[in-house]
């Protein structure tokens, strides 16, 4: 197997943290998003949606989408379970992962991709040109992140991890969302003490170095 990666980007980092938590090592190959290498013909054949990460299997099959790659690795290396164990745990991990993505990660992306000059005309991932930045999305993203911080702080008031008693892929997405928001110096608000406690805790795990 081989993982097409880009160190700075948030989505490949989700997979690298996941691999570190599983203790799995997979060779990495950099796709230089800094020079738009994801739009190359060769990479487009691997993933026509032109995003990283992509996992290449030994038979040449390609799996894209971070969570799809993580699920494949979960099936290959079930321990420790990062998508929940019982039916209910699995559902709650999926629920909190989705909440982290839809109410957190997507808003962080709105702020980052609509404000940094590098993303001018490619504000949407995987779209080569013709996707202009929309200034109103910066404010929408910031307001969304405020709601996200508040809601996740509340969840972490009575819960050690995002989806309950066990560390899971929902923690990874939440962690990467907070890091991504930090690109534009948006941090956890002072009053969100539970979220800050949790963030310190996950950032101290060895996987945070991935």
Binding residues vs a second copy (CB under 8 A): 48-49, 57, 61, 63-65, 67-69, 71-72, 75-76, 87-88, 90-92, 94-95, 98-99, 103, 124, 126-127, 130-132, 134, 136-137, 140, 143-144, 147, 151, 154
- For the CB of residue 190, give the shortest distance to a second copy in the complex, in Å: 22
Rounded to the nearest whole angstrom, what is the least distance from the CB of residue 203 to a second copy in the complex?
25
Q: How near is the Cβ of 171 to a second copy at its closest, in Å?
A: 16
Beta-bridged to residue 122, according to DSSP, are: 131
Cβ neighbour number for residue 35 with a 10 Å cutoff: 9
175: exposed, middle or buried (C-beta count within 10 Å: 0-12, 13-18, 19+)? buried
Smallest gap from Cβ 45 to a second copy, in A, equals 12
Query: Which strand (E) or helix (H) includes residue 64?
Result: strand 62-64
Closest distance to a second copy from the beta carbon of 80 (Å): 17
Report the candidate in 131, 23, 123 with the shortest Cα–Cα distance to residue 73: 23
Is the Cβ of residue 16 or residue 99 nearer to a second copy in the bound state? Answer: 99
Residue 74 Cα to chain centre, angstroms = 16
In the bound state with a second copy, the residue whose beta carbon lies nearer, of 75 and 204, is: 75
Closer residue to a second copy (CB): 169 or 202? 169
Q: 46-59 burial, b if ≥16 CB within 10 A, otherwise e?
A: bbeebbbbbbbeee
Minimum CB distance to a second copy smaller for 41 or for 206: 41
- By the 10 Å C-beta count (0-12 exposed, 13-18 middle, 19+ buried), 87 is classed as exposed
Nearer of residues 24 and 57 to a second copy, judged by Cβ: 57
């Amino acid at each position: 197997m081989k993982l097409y990666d880009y160190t700075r980007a948030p989505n490949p980092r989700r997979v690298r943290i996941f691999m570190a938590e599983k203790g799995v090592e997979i060779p990495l190959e950099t796709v230089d998003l800094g020079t738009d290498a994801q739009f190359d013909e060769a990479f487009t054949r691997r993933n026509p949606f032109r995003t990283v990460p992509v996992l290449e299997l030994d038979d040449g099959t390609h799996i894209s989408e971070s969570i799809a790659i993580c699920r494949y690795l979960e099936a290959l290396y079930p321990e420790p379970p990062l998508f929940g164990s019982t039916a209910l745990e699995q559902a709650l991990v999926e629920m909190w992962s989705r909440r982290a993505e839809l109410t957190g990660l997507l808003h962080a992306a709105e702020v980052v991709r609509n404000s940094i000059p590098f993303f001018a005309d490619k504000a949407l991932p995987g779209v080569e040109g013709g996707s202009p930045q929309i200034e109103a999305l910066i404010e929408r993203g910031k307001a969304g992140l405020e709601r996200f911080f508040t809601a996740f702080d509340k969840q972490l008031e009575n819960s050690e991890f995002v989806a309950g008693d066990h560390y899971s892929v929902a923690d990874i997405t939440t962690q990467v969302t907070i890091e991504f928001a930090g690109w534009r110096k948006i941090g956890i608000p002072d009053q969100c003490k539970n979220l800050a406690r949790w963030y310190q805790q996950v950032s101290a795990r060895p996987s945070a170095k991935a």
